[in-house]
Amino acid sequence: MAGPVVDPALYRHRDVVPIRRALISVSDKTDLLPLAQALAGAGVALVSTGGSAALLRDAGLEVTDVAQVTGFPESLGGRVKTLHPSVHAGLLADLRLEDHETQLNELGVLPFELVVVNLYPFVETVASGAVGDAVVEQIDIGGPAMVRASAKNFANVAIAVSPSSYPAIIEALGAGGTTLAHRRDLAARAFAHTAEYDRAVATWFAEASLADEQDLPQHLTIKAERLETLRYGENSHQRAAIYSRVGGHGIAQATQLQGKEMSYNNYVDADAALRAAFDMVKPAVAIIKHANPCGIAVAAPNALDEIASAHLRAHECDPVSAFGGVIAANRSVTLKMAENLRDIFTEVIVAPDFEPEALEVFALKKNLRVLQLPADWRQEQMDVRLVSGGLLLQDADRFPAEVESLVDGWQLVTGEMPDDAEKANLAFAWKACRAVKSNAIVLAQGSATVGIGMGQVNRVDSCRLAVERAGDRAAGSVAASDAFFPFADGPQVLIDAGIRTIIQPGGSVRDQEVIDAAQAAGVTMFFTGERHFFH
């Protein structure tokens, strides 16, 4: 081929590499035009692809299509355009080496000194709720290849993967080129960019395999970024921070509308409150203290303001413990609910939305932390818990939305099948019990808790605690137990308090002893066949 295409004197033994040719292929076109105009003004030859090339041409800039460089048309709907030796030889050639210089001249390939590439919006596409092929098409192949090739060859090539890097590149044009230190820094950012991208893709595939009920993944990657450092952890001598998981859509992504800085314990309690409130299909409120509910309720029938009704009924369960509690509502918080909270000391309230008038009331309580859930909030499908040296992964313990209908599928071991209203109360009690730390006993009337016994090392003590907290309200209520009764002593505490129906999983070797005690007292008992431990 005629004439050399590389002047090695421009590169060898020089810290500064002048920018003479740039490859531009970006998905995020933020601030691209000012960069391209600065490059063109400095006499830099621009090579580009697709939408990037169209944007530059529309601005009156001279651009060479990648297809002209490769001699191969863009194909397969854009899947193949930059994957070609004429591109990658120009990215990977180390012009400090004479044999690389010679080979480029023989091939007639020009090197690139600048590559501006960012990747397909994979994370954003997943966050939008897209599934299947719509997500797969956002897995970038050519982009990461160009980024990694350029970053590997940072001795000769500057790689920009973010608009935040553009100002320094424009400045470098006026200084005669990019320095080795500048290119090394850009390379480090580039490798971090592709690593994060690959983690996001791997996580999506792992989560998809979980959804398909296949084996749990052999390898698990969890990527999280620190949002902020907290004042302290559970106690004042412990360091703490809140991190946001890539692709997350939970309490960590909530927007704080007002109030003091969230604490470690605030986040733990707010997450527990969401778990309790959002198990309910009807408008519901949960009040949490030390990660345990002190009241859960759905709205009373025919309530004019359903969420305000649910809050009042939840608060009535244990007003003493509700002092300084954390509240979650599964509907927009209304003015009426805010007014009901005016004289109740509350640490945090979290909900999907708030009426403007409610926020005006909350503004008078300047220390109250008000959190609005992200629009894409949903309960997680998997639970992860750290243990020393590793972590545990399990399916999240969730109820189907139509759990009320499951009452008909439970085993009635003594007594008579209740009417529809009482079935709704039974389903509520069973759901509420799942949100209580084991050993858990929940007493409910009219789909509102009236007594809760939690976290005891034996089930009898949980029964006593629930009955004690319920007081006179225990009589006529229903009781739900998160696991089976190993002896009849626990149910006897409930029976003596006037409970008329007991729900439990069953499965103890002494089930018959427990059934006999209920039958002798004329108490209805259901076996669900499923337990709901919550440690």
**Weakest-pLDDT range from 39-48, 119-128, 214-223, 439-448:** 119-128
CA–CA distance, 251 with 373 (Å, rounded to integer): 7
Distances in Å between the alpha carbon of 242 and those of 189, 261, 262? 23, 12, 10
Q: How confident is the model at residue 29 (pLDDT cuts 50, 70, 90)?
A: confident
The residues pairing with 333 across neighbouring beta strands, listed in sequence order, are: 354
95 close to 101: Cβ distance less than 8 angstroms: yes
> What pLDDT sits at residue 173?
87
103-111 contacts at long range (C-beta below 8 A, 24 or more positions apart) = 104/5, 104/6, 105/1, 105/4, 105/5, 105/6, 106/1, 107/1, 108/1, 108/5, 109/5, 109/85, 110/5, 110/6, 110/21, 111/6, 111/21, 111/156, 111/157
pLDDT at 4 over 50: no
pLDDT at 447 over 90: yes
Mean pLDDT value of segment 340-347: 94
pLDDT at 484 over 60: yes
Q: Are strands 478-481 and 441-445 parallel, antiparallel or unpaired?
A: antiparallel
CA–CA distance, 242 with 251 (Å, rounded to integer): 10
206 close to 220: Cβ distance less than 8 angstroms: yes
Tokens for 150? 């350029």
Q: How confident is the model at residue 485 (pLDDT cuts 50, 70, 90)?
A: very high
- Locate all alpha helices (DSSP H) within 278-384, ordered by sequence: 306-317, 319-322, 335-340, 356-362
Distances in Å between the alpha carbon of 284 and those of 236, 330, 332, 347? 33, 6, 10, 19
Q: What secondary structure letter does DSSP report for 354?
A: B
Higher pLDDT, 400 or 440: 440
Spatial neighbors of 479 by CB under 8 A, at least 6 apart, are: 429, 441, 442, 443, 463, 466, 494, 499, 501, 502, 503
3-state DSSP assignment of residue 21: strand
Domains of the chain: 8-208 (3.40.50.1380), 251-372 (3.40.140.20), 403-527 (3.40.140.20)
CA–CA distance, 62 with 59 (Å, rounded to integer): 9
- Which amino acid does the sequence have at 320? V
CA–CA distance, 412 with 12 (Å, rounded to integer): 86
Other C-beta atoms closer than 10 Å to the C-beta of 311 total: 31
Q: Which of 383, 425, 432, 413 is nearest to 507 (CA)?
A: 413
52 close to 31: Cβ distance less than 8 angstroms: no
Tokens for 395? 């399916």
pLDDT at 142 over 80: no
pLDDT at 14 over 90: no
443 close to 490: Cβ distance less than 8 angstroms: no
Mean pLDDT value of segment 44-68: 82
Share of the chain above pLDDT 90, in %: 44
Higher pLDDT, 83 or 154: 154
C-alpha of 301 from chain center: 34
Residue from 84, 152, 223, 260 carrying the catalytic annotation: 152
Highest-scoring range by mean pLDDT, 21-25, 223-227, 502-506: 502-506
> What pLDDT sits at residue 331?
95
**Weakest-pLDDT range from 23-27, 92-96, 273-277, 530-534:** 92-96
In the residue annotation, 152 being an active-site residue is answered as: yes
Mean pLDDT value of segment 161-189: 89
Higher pLDDT, 465 or 94: 465
Tokens for 88? 């990658």
On average, the pLDDT of the chain sits at 85
Give the CA angle between residues 208, 138, 225 to the nearest 5°: 70
Q: Note the pLDDT tens digit of each residue in 290-331.
A: 999 999 999 999 899 999 999 999 999 999 999 999 999 999
Mean pLDDT value of segment 439-452: 94
- DSSP letter string, 57-92: HHTT---EEHHHHHTS--BGGGTBSS-SHHHHHHHH
Residue from 29, 84, 260, 290 carrying the catalytic annotation: 290
- Locate all alpha helices (DSSP H) within 364-447, ordered by sequence: 420-434
Share of the chain above pLDDT 70, in %: 86
In the residue annotation, 423 being an active-site residue is answered as: no
Higher pLDDT, 31 or 345: 345
Q: Note the pLDDT tens digit of each residue in 371-408.
A: 999 887 887 777 888 888 888 888 788 877 666 677 88
- Burial letters for 448-481: b for 16+ Cβ neighbours within 10 Å, e otherwise? bbbbbbbbbeebbbbbbbbbebbeebbeebbbbb
